[in-house]
């Protein structure tokens, strides 16, 4: 997603914000810095992190749907231990959850 970053100085501190170029609607948070470059760099880092976060969240949601399909098919099938499909989908789900947690832990400093 393309964003326009606007930085303004207020009271000796720079504030950067993002807005959608097509509508001018604000997006996200306000990032502060001692200089224009610092505020813009923080906003850029936050936007990159936000995109990675959205992608990881979507991957987790897809893995959850696949796992639920596998669990549902396990109930329709023969009794016994977990199927290979169910074990594999659970491993994918766990990996997606771990990836999202890792991205959340890297949330950049914004002020």
Residue span of the structural domain in which 97 resides: 4-105
**pLDDT for residue 110:** 87
Q: What is the mean pLDDT of residues 52-57?
A: 98
Count of domains in the chain? 1
Where are the strands (E) in 11-89, listed by range?
A: 13-19, 26-33
Nearest C-alpha neighbor of 108 from the set 63, 40, 42, 60? 42
For residues 83-105, give the mean pLDDT: 93
Please tell me the pTM assigned to this model.
0.83
Which residue(s) pair with 10 in the sheet? 13
- The answer to the question of residue 111 being in a domain is no
CA distance linking residue 44 with residue 61, whole number of Å: 26
Q: Is residue 48 domain-resident?
A: yes
Average pLDDT, the chain: 91
Q: Closest by alpha carbon to 91, among 110, 56, 67?
A: 67
Q: 86 in a domain, yes or no?
A: yes
């Amino acid at each position: 997603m393309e964003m326009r970053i606007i930085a303004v100085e207020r009271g000796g501190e720079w504030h950067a914000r993002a807005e959608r170029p097509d509508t001018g609607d604000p997006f996200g948070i306000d990032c502060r810095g001692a200089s224009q470059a610092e505020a813009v760099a923080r906003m850029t880092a936050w936007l990159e992190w936000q995109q990675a976060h959205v992608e990881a969240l979507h991957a987790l949601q897809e893995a959850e749907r696949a796992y639920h399909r596998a669990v549902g098919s396990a109930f329709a099938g023969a009794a016994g231990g977990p199927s290979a499909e169910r074990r594999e989908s659970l491993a994918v789900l766990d990996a997606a959850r771990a990836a999202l947690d890792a991205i959340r832990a890297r949330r950049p400093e914004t002020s």
